[in-house]
Amino acid sequence: MSKRMIDCPQCGEKAEWSENNAFRPFCSERCRLIDLGAWANEEYQIATNTNQDENDFSTGDEPGAREATPTMH
């Protein structure tokens, strides 16, 4: 069976995707730590709904405040 190779998300080098690579999906500890540092410095952001008012601190519990979604309890 051939080794599954992927591109390191940090540097683009080929990295082995297996239990033998403790840093997967990265090629090395260096690339893993660079990525972790970027998260810690808030260089990555998760997209949010920009239609919401930034200063709206309501809980959303008011009747009709938000639509029910399958993940709401």
- pLDDT of res. 15: 94
Q: 35: how many CB neighbours lie within 10 A of its CB?
A: 18
Q: Select from 11, 61, 12, 33 the least CA-distant residue to 22.
A: 33
Q: pLDDT (tens digit, 9 = 90+) per residue, 13-37?
A: 999 999 999 999 999 999 999 999 9
Domain ranges of the chain: 5-40
On average, the pLDDT of the chain sits at: 81
Question: Does CATH number 3.40.50.20 belong to domain 5-40?
Answer: no
